[in-house]
Structure formats: C-alpha cells, structure tokens
Chain A
Amino acid sequence: MTWFQLAWANLRASPIASAVNILLMTLGTASIVILILASERFTDTLTRDARGIDLVLGAKGSPTQLILSAVYHADLPTGNISYDHARAWANDDRVELAAPLSLGDSYRGFRIVGTNDVFLGLYDVTVREGRSWKRPMEAVLGAAVAEESGLKPRDRFSGAHGMSDLGHVHAEQPYTVVGVLPPTNTVVDRLILTSLESVWDLHGHQDHDSETMHTAGNPEHEEHEEHEEHEEHEEHEEHNAHTNGDAHGQEITAMLLRYRTPLAAMSLPREINALGNLQAAAPPMEIARLLSLVGLGLDGLRAFAWVLIGAACLSVFAALYGSLRHRRRDLAMLRCLGATKIEVFFAMLSEGLLLSMAGIALGFSLAHSTMILISAWLESQRGVSLADLYWAEAETQLLLVLLAVSLISAAIPAMQAYRTDVARTLAETNL
C-alpha cells in the first residue's frame, strides 16, 4: 500500500466527481494545446509556403488577396497584369529571381499554374520523375497531385476553367504529364505546373510568347534554356518559331520576385506601387496581417480555454476541500496509525495532483491525437502535411503553468489536512 495507491483508492471511491474533475481539466488543457499547435503550424505553413518569395506583383486590389491567390493559391486572383510591365521590374538590378504566374484553370481541384523553371528555383525543387515542361500542354505534377490523381508521366488530362470541376473542360487540348515533383511539404505539392503558353493557348491567346522569363543577373539560366531549346525536336522549333513573336499585349496573373539584397525591400515595393499600374505586396507583411487577424480569434478561444482550466482547478480544489469535512476522521486515523503531519499533507496533495495530472496528461494526448487526425484530414484534402508529432516550446511553458496551478489548488486543502487537530477530531467522531 503506497500513498499513490491510497490516493487512487480515494479517487475511485467517488468515481463521478473524480471523472468530472478529470474531464474538466482534460478539455481545458486540450483546448489550449490545440490552439498552440494549430497556431504554430498555421504560422509554419504560411511562412514555409512564402519562403524565398520577397515580393509579389499583381493587379491592383487587396494585397492580402494577391498574396493568398499567388503564394498560397487559396483565393481568386486580383486580375491580370501586363507581362511587359511585370517583366520590366523582373529585369531590375535589385531582383535576383522572378517567376511569372498565369492562373485560371484547375484539374480535380488542383490549380494549374502557367510559369517557368524559375518557379522551381524559388521553391528549391527539381523534378524527381520525368523532366520539366518544355512545350505547351506539358505538365509537371506536384507530389500530392500525382498521388491523389494517380497520374504519371505520359498520362493525359484536361483542365477545367476555374477552381472546380464544374467549369468548362478544355477537352480539346489535354495536358500531357512529363514529370512529377518530390514532396516539398509546401503548396507546390498541390499544384500542376505548365508553361505560360499552355494557359495562354487554352484561353485564346494564340499570339503568345514562349520565352521563359528573363531573370536579371542569371545569365546561366538563360543560356541553359537556350541550349535546351536548340536540342528540341524540329516540331518544337517550329512551334517556337510560330510563337516566338511579339510578347506585347500578353497578360499574366502575378509575378513572384526574390530580391538580390534585403535593401531592395526599402525601395522596390514603394516604386512599383507609386507607378500605379501594378501592385506590389510583400508576403511577410501580409502574413503578419493575417496572423494578427487570426490572432484576435485565437486570443478569444485561448481565454475561453483558460476559463475551462480555471474551472477545472476550482473543481479540484472544491472536491478536495469539500471532502475534508467528511474525511477528517480518516485523516485523524492516518495520524493514529503513525502518519506524520507532512505525510498527511502529501497524501492529500497527491490526491489533488493525481486528478489534475490525469486531466493534463489526457488533455495533451487528446490535443495531439486531434492534431494528428486534423493533419491526416488536411493531407487527404489539401495535401498539406502537419503530421509530425512535435512538441511545441509553448507546450512546455503551458505544462509548467498547469502543474503550478494544480499544485496550488491541491496545496490549500492539503494544508487544511495538515492542520487537522487529531485529538479533537477523534474526540468528536468517536461518539
């Protein structure tokens, strides 16, 4: 018979009250832990998807919408912009990399993105299976797209207008899969990449420009592309000859830029926005704005979760304090049997801590299990993997706070038990 067994036996003697106490603590703890994990992972995901992208050029409108549509592919585009105007900025000395984006179609909910190889460079990813797209209507699939659709190189599929399968299907011009990307755990996993020309072709811009984006300060890239183009089949050469015409008048949806130096952040966005025909939005600023908006909601939920934990601690306190009255006799008996005051204190304390810690342990388990389920669901629905069972630093702080609060709520009744007047209690209860 140990003190732990005694505490456990006492808790089992009043199962409903103990269960309610544990449940309250479990729910409070789980709520806060879920909020911590969700907000951390939300921030992680936002930051990860925008890593390497310093500025986004797009049509005038909401900068948040521009970032959401062009970086996270989670909103409708703000409109189209002139490829020439965008390219002028892409050739600026302060820009290291620039990837044009042309959006509009999707396949089974996966967005089809017309772009060039620079896009892969921005996300630091190379084709794992097959090769990159070279000609119009060739497509490279993100890892999640390949897995969920079952498509593999040489398979064909037709894009649909808009973001749902209900849009007009371009059945007359199917894409051919030429490559699959490795998993990156970013939004790229859920994208279908193709050339700008593919998107222009499908949307009636026959007069397109097949040149990949010129990237200022990256002559090797240009040479490489030229070299590859010369190696293409004759048919492709003809196609290029046909399309390598005037690029004036072409439109894209957005342009992703990476600065050559951080100093560019001081001047470039201001200059672009001042000219009036384009909008420049910086992902870090929009992420901060989004997080502050989401943060307001999270703060409310967090306050509610703390109320739950407060209620749980009060409940543990009330249960122990209330039980003192009818357990004075038992405590006195423990002293008669040889227990010291401090042992009686710890017996009572361990009972309260057992209740709280059971609730806290269950709360953490419930929260992490819930996050695994949410993660599995997100992965199946959106291909975003959050599955790692990591322990956030804030959780350690939370655990320490919870243990301290539990200790205090159990220590007060334990102190009362410590002060039990054994002689008087025995005299009163042996009548």
Chain B
Amino acid sequence: MSSRQEESAAQDPNPSPPLAVRVTNLAFSYGAEIVLAFDKFELKSQQACSIIGPSGCGKSTFVHLVAGLLAPEKGSVEVFGEDLGSLSESQRDRFRGEHIGFVFQRFHLLPALTVMDNLALAQKLSRTQRDRSRIETLLKQLDVWELRHRKPSDLSHGQAQRVAVARSLVHAPSLVIADEPTSALDDTNAHQTLGLLQQTTQEAGAALLVVTHDHRVREHLATGFELGAAK
C-alpha cells in the first residue's frame, strides 16, 4: 500500500472513527534527563502509521509507553479509550495481552516451543479462548502451516518473520506494534515485510504502528510521524 493510498484511506469520510491510540502531553524521563516529550499523537482504528526517528530519539520509549510496559510520568496514553496511566501494572499487562500484538526485528519467538506452541502461548496469555482454527488459518495464510511442528531455530529468517507476524495477530488484537521490523533487511525484503504487515493487519482489522529509524518505511506508510521533528 502506497503512502498516497494510506492518506486517502485516512481521509475516508467516516464520521468519527474510534481512536486506536491517543497520546496527549506525554513526557517520560530516565532520571533527570527527559527522553521523550510529546504534545499529541493519534492513530485511528484499522489505520497504519509509522514513527520514524534516529536511534536514541526515544522511539522505543514511546512504543513501551503506548504498550503499557512503561507508565507515563506526565500526560496520558489512551489505547482504545483506556487511559493506561490509570491502570495498575498487572492491569496494563492484561490489557496489552488482550489488545496489542508485537512484531520485533528479532522476532523473539520462544526457542523451546514449536511454531504451533508459540502461537498457542500467545493466545493463552491474551486470555482469549484457545482457537486452534484461527492459528491454522493464520499459519496457512502466511504459508507456514507446514512448519507448525518446527522449532524457531529450524526456520529461515523469512519463515520466522511470518510466524512472528502470525503470533502478533493470533489473539485478534486491535493494534499491532512493529518495532524496527525492517532494519536489518535489504530493500526487497523490507518491501515484502511491510507489505505483509499492512496486508495482514488490514485483513485482521487491526491498526498498525511501525516504529523505526528506517526511512524506507515512508514509501509504504502514509501517516508518517517523525519523532523530535514538527509534524
């Protein structure tokens, strides 16, 4: 999906599409140093957005705040209308498990588990009902169903990536966060990965937030936001 298409989708005349993420006057610091200050950020449901910035600009901190892994010191983070700052740490854990899926550069599949079990664990931790048919559908859709009994160490990079994408969607989340999904890939693979993420999240009806320092992402995702720069 091109950035122009994304923009036109963002301008779709939907009277008031619910917001996937709303960030207001956000600040976070490690010690005395403020590493992140954010006036406003919004991501609508079922839309895709990228946040681009150089290493150390606070991208990961932003992701962790949106995912509820960190609690904001100032301002608010709302995900699907839930103010994460008002939740306890374990409530945020449960909320994250239920509503958010993750894709990391290094996939972070659990090495001791098979592909199937990695997805089953994600379903369990999301507190949703175990749905084997959804696992099967996703793995078939991503063309890795035949690999379901393999361990991550027996997968190629591309296969592992597909499995990681499947895991991020297996509990039917409303938001998928991809942290540096293309950083170590060549142009062709980066293009494929972004296409895959956009396609699968769109089909699953989930919003997509890609956080990266990789400027190639701009070519794919329209609603770009550059951290530290004026919007």
Contacts and interface: CB of A to CB of B under 8 A. Distances in A.
Interface in B96-120: 96-98, 102, 104-106, 108, 110-113, 117, 120
Nearest to A342: B90
B136 interface: no
Contacts of A333: 108, 110
Interface in A361-409: none
B70 A426 contact: no
A9 B113 contact: yes
A330 B108 CA distance: 7
Given A422-B69, A423-B70, A426-B69, A338 B108 contact: no
A430 B125 contact: no
Pick the most buried of A1, A5, A13, A423: most chain B CB atoms within 10 A of its CB.
Answer: A1
A240 to B, nearest CB: 86
Contacts of B61: 423
A260 interface: no
A26 B105 CA distance: 42
Given A333-B108, A430-B60, A338 B97 contact: yes
A335 B104 CA distance: 14
A337 B90 contact: no
A430 B96 CA distance: 19
A430 B94 CA distance: 23
Interface in A3-44: 5-6, 9-10, 12-13
B60 A427 contact: yes
Given A1-B117, A337-B97, A430 B122 contact: no
A148 to B, nearest CB: 56
B93 interface: yes
A334 interface: yes
Nearest to A5: B117
A323 to B, nearest CB: 11
Q: Please indicate which of the listed interface residues B64, B111, B112, B126 has the most CB atoms of chain A within 10 Å of its own CB.
A: B112
B218 interface: no
A5 B124 CA distance: 12
Nearest to A8: B112
B112 A338 contact: no
Contact of B93 (A5, A330, A338, A426): A338
A336 B102 contact: yes
B8 to A, nearest CB: 32
A348 to B, nearest CB: 13
Interface residues of A, number: 29
B179 A334 contact: no
Interface size class of B (residues with CB under 8 A): 20 to 34
Contact of A426 (B60, B94, B96, B111): B60
Nearest to A7: B112
B21 interface: no
Nearest to A423: B64
A277 interface: no
Interface in A409-431: 422-423, 426-427, 429-431
Contacts of A5: 117
B127 interface: yes
B19 to A, nearest CB: 22
B113 A430 contact: no
A338 B125 contact: yes
Nearest to A335: B93
B70 A339 contact: no
A341 B112 contact: no
Contact of B125 (A10, A12, A332, A339): A339
Contacts of B154: none
Contacts of B70: 423
A74 to B, nearest CB: 56
A31 B198 CA distance: 61
Nearest to B55: A431
Contacts of A340: 89-90, 93-94
Interface in B144-167: none
Interface string B40-81: 000000000000000000001100100101100000000000
A339 B112 contact: no
B120 A1 contact: yes
A60 interface: no
B17 to A, nearest CB: 26
Contacts of A335: 69, 93
A337 B99 CA distance: 10
Contacts of A9: 112-113, 117
Among A10, A336, A341, the most chain B Cβ lie within 10 Å of the Cβ of A336
A341 B125 contact: no
B125 A423 contact: no
Contacts of B108: 329-330, 332-333, 336, 429-430
A328 to B, nearest CB: 11
A329 B110 CA distance: 9
Nearest to B65: A423
A246 B122 CA distance: 98
B11 to A, nearest CB: 33
B64 to A, nearest CB: 4
Nearest to A422: B69
18 contacts: A1-B120, A1-B123, A336-B96, A337-B125, A337-B126, A338-B94, A339-B93, A339-B97, A340-B93, A341-B93, A343-B125, A422-B64, A423-B60, A423-B61, A426-B69, A427-B64, A430-B60, A430-B104
Nearest 6 pairs of A and B residues by beta carbon: A338-B97, A13-B112, A338-B125, A1-B120, A337-B125, A423-B64
Given A6-B110, A336-B67, A338-B126, 8 more contacts: A6-B112, A13-B111, A330-B111, A336-B69, A336-B96, A336-B108, A423-B61, A423-B70
Interface of A: 1-2, 5-6, 9-10, 12-13, 329-330, 332-343, 422-423, 426-427, 429-431
